[in-house]
Structure 1
Amino acid sequence: MIRTAALLAVLALPAPALAQAYQCRAPQSVEEPRPVQPDGPRSVMPITGYTLAVSWSPEFCRGGKAAKDPGNYQCNGQIGRFGFVLHGLWPEGANGRYPQWCAVTPRPTQQDYRANMCMTPVPWLIEHEWAKHGSCMAKTPEGYFKVSRILWNSLKLPDADQLSRQDYLTAGDLRRAFMARNPGWPQSAVGLVLSNGGWLRELRLCYGRNFKPRACSKRAFGPKNDVPLKIWRGL
């Protein structure tokens, strides 16, 4: 289901190992989460593009509840400290629709969990992203996460901690910082998700079927460049 030529092109991009984690050491073993339960109908359709959803961990973890969850390595500090992490790689369909829940098996293996814990440090989320999104673009969890890692490791994400100290920070400042670290990336392909209070929650990076950046939809693009932005450091 995944186009080999497009992936080979992405493979040629630089790949900084563990570039987004402040520090991380994958656990020797991971407790297998309960089998995932679909939260919507099965929907199979042609893929027209992709979204790479990149979460800002300090904002996600600031509520405190997630930090106490023993299965949530993203927040509890057991394997390291995180800045940006990968929420998921989502295939898209036409007219704002999304393929989803194409299969819930095979389930991820211990090797799958360990190979991706420094990218997506939440075991149940790893399984959820594979079943809901990945099963519609790959035959196995290993195949899906391989593509996710290629895209993830091709990126150089901005120093959000440093940006958070900038006076009068805007959404456009973050987009420009991302573009400065990823030359040639169009600003129109950098979407943002903010909380109701204007705090950074996620980047939504938009790709075409060929895995090259393309303009986000209006919804995925999110706030305009002049919208004030706050970034919670929490570290």
Structure 2
Amino acid sequence: MAQAYQCTLPQTLASVAPIKPDGAPRKTPVAGYTLTASWSPDYCKTSGDTRSMQCSGTNGRFGFILHGLWPEGRRDPPPQWCRSAPPPPPALLRRHLCLTPSPQLLAHEWAKHGTCMTRRPETFFQVSAVLWESIHWPDADTLSQKDGLTAGDLRDEFLALNKGWRREAVGLNINPTGWLREIRLCYDKRFRPARCPPERFGPSDATMLKIWRGL
């Protein structure tokens, strides 16, 4: 499950419409991966999305959720949209909604990123879930109340909870006014923690940070 205070699955789920690519196909070699965890309260605040499973509160209140598992290239742009594939069946999407509470996002991540990693959506979602469940996610609600909070404080909290991880493998994505959007964990090709390139590492440890609690 995502970092959810509670999560109730919908009884049924309709089929998802075919996903339209937002870029050209790119079949470059995979050199590593990024596991991206979105901070749900910030997404729900900034997107104006009030009716979805993620933001309505009807199915639970979420903290960090799995945005996706992305294959990365070494020097080339990362692979994407590697082959045409129908949306995953509703039953498969439903099983993963407490991890990624949006069937459209799940289908998009499979089409854009998963097709560059495996032939079956079941495998892509299973690998993503295994990686997610190996991580202890920080209590960002509590951390948000710290005076003078910095990006380094969030990285410190993550490293204290996850032995074997290194600071350089823990990237952050914050918006221009300093609010947390995502944690981005960098892996090598064998799914071991690896140094993030600067664009994925994000702000330095000294950067001031704010975390929206949804209150």
Q: Does 1:80 align with 2:63?
A: no
Q: Does 1:54 align with 2:34?
A: no
Alignment gaps of 5+ in structure 1: 1-17
CA RMSD of aligned residues (A): 1.2
Checking the alignment, whether the CA contact within 8 Å between 2:2 and 2:63 is kept in structure 1 is: no
Q: Does 1:44 align with 2:27?
A: yes
Q: What per-residue deviation string (whole Å, max 9, x for no partner) do you get for residues 40-92 of structure 1? A: 11111211000011100000001362113xxx211112211100001100001
- 2:184 is matched with 204
Alpha-carbon distance between aligned partners in 2 of 1:154 and 1:191, rounded to the nearest angstrom:
17
- Percent identity between the aligned chains? 52
The structural deviation recorded for 1:196 is: 1.0
Alignment gaps of 5+ in structure 2: none
Alpha-carbon distance between aligned partners in 1 of 2:167 and 2:184, rounded to the nearest angstrom:
12
Which moves more between the two structures, 177-186 or 28-37?
A: 28-37
Q: Does 1:216 align with 2:199?
A: no
What SS is found at the alignment partner of 2:65? Answer: strand
- 2:85 is matched with 105
| Pairs aligned (count) | 215
With the length of structure 1 as denominator, give the TM-score of the two structures: 0.88
Alpha-carbon distance between aligned partners in 2 of 1:96 and 1:160, rounded to the nearest angstrom:
34
Q: Does 1:169 align with 2:149?
A: yes
Alpha-carbon distance between aligned partners in 2 of 1:107 and 1:216, rounded to the nearest angstrom:
31
Alpha-carbon distance between aligned partners in 2 of 1:177 and 1:104, rounded to the nearest angstrom:
40
What SS is found at the alignment partner of 1:80? Answer: coil
What SS is found at the alignment partner of 2:6? Answer: strand
Selected match of 2:9 from 10, 26, 31: 26
Show the 5 A alignment for 1:116-127. 116-127=96-107
Q: What per-residue deviation string (whole Å, max 9, x for no partner) do you get for residues 105-147 of structure 1? A: 1421122111110111011110000000001001011110000
